[in-house]
Every structure is written in structure tokens, then in C-alpha cells.
Amino acid sequence: MPLLTRLFIKTGLLYFVAALLTGLLLALNSTLALPAWVGVLNPVYFHLFMVGWVTQLIIGVAYWMFPKFTREQPRGWEQLAQITFLLLNGGLLLRVLAEPMLALQTNKLWGWLLALSALLQWLAGLTFVLNTWPRVKER
């Protein structure tokens, strides 16, 4: 299994645990008097689960299992896959920080950081598609 695949999958596993913990906090918030920031974690829970866990797992397995690109570059452009990893995780971590902060305090900085996080995640999706598209072909 390629190093980058292991990195995507293990990072995804960490996000999975973080998503479940966030879900637990959200569930406990209805019965316990938890801090106000817990109440604004719904989007964070969703993104940790879908982008952090599901998307990372899919990208990691696709990078590993899809048909070879060429004999010299069986998985496409490794640097592009590394950029995908950095963009996706940078965008997700920025979103985990900016989204609840924007809900708690109306500040343009948090709004811009949230927009930047979305841009980084979109660019990650684009780089993944650019690297994977040529691998989807007939025999």
C-alpha cells in the first residue's frame, strides 16, 4: 500500500474519531449545560465525517486501487496527490476553526477564513479529479 494511501486513510480514521466525539458532544448538549460553542458544532460534525472520514477514505483507496496511469507513473502525479492531501486537510482544519467562530461572533475575518477553507477544499477536489481522470479508461 503506497505511503500516500496510508496517510489519507490514517488521517481519515483520526477524523472519524473526531467526528464521533463531536457527535457525542452535540448529543450531550441537549441534556447537559455545555459551553455555547458546542451548540454550533453541527456543520463541523458533518464536515469531519463527510470530508475528513468518507472523502479521505475514498481518495486514499482510489489513489491505491484505480488502474495504472503509466508504467513510470502508476498512480499519476504523486506531487499532485500530495497537494490534494494538503489542500483537503488544510481546508478542513480551517473550516473546523472558522465555522463555529463565525457562528459565535460576527467578524469578517472568520467569514473570509471560512470562504478560504471552502476554496482550499474545492481545489483539493479539483486536483484529485485532475490526477484521477486519466486513470479511468478502457483496457
Instruction: Read off the pLDDT of each residue in 19-36 and give the average, rounded to a whole number.
Output: 92
Q: Average of pLDDT values for 15-39?
A: 92
Q: Which of the four pLDDT bands, split at 50, 70 and 90, describes residue 77?
A: confident
Spatial contact of 102 and 86, defined as CB atoms under 8 Å apart? no
Report pLDDT digits (tens) over 114-135: 999 999 999 999 999 999 998 8
Instruction: Map grid coordinates 494511501 to a residue.
Output: 5
Q: How many independent structural domains does the chain possess? A: 1
Hey, what's the torsion of the CAs at 30, 31, 33, 35, to 10 degrees? Answer: -40
Burial letters 36-69, b for 16+ CB under 10 A, else e: eeeebbeebbebbbebbbebbbebbebbeebeeb
Domain enclosing residue 21, as ranges: 3-135
Please state whether the predicted TM-score (pTM) of the whole model is above 0.95.
no
Euclidean distance between CA atoms 24 and 29, whole angstroms: 8
What ranges in the chain are assigned the alpha helix state H?
A: 3-29, 42-47, 56-65, 78-104, 108-132
pLDDT in tens, 31-69: 888 888 888 999 999 999 999 999 999 999 999 887 787
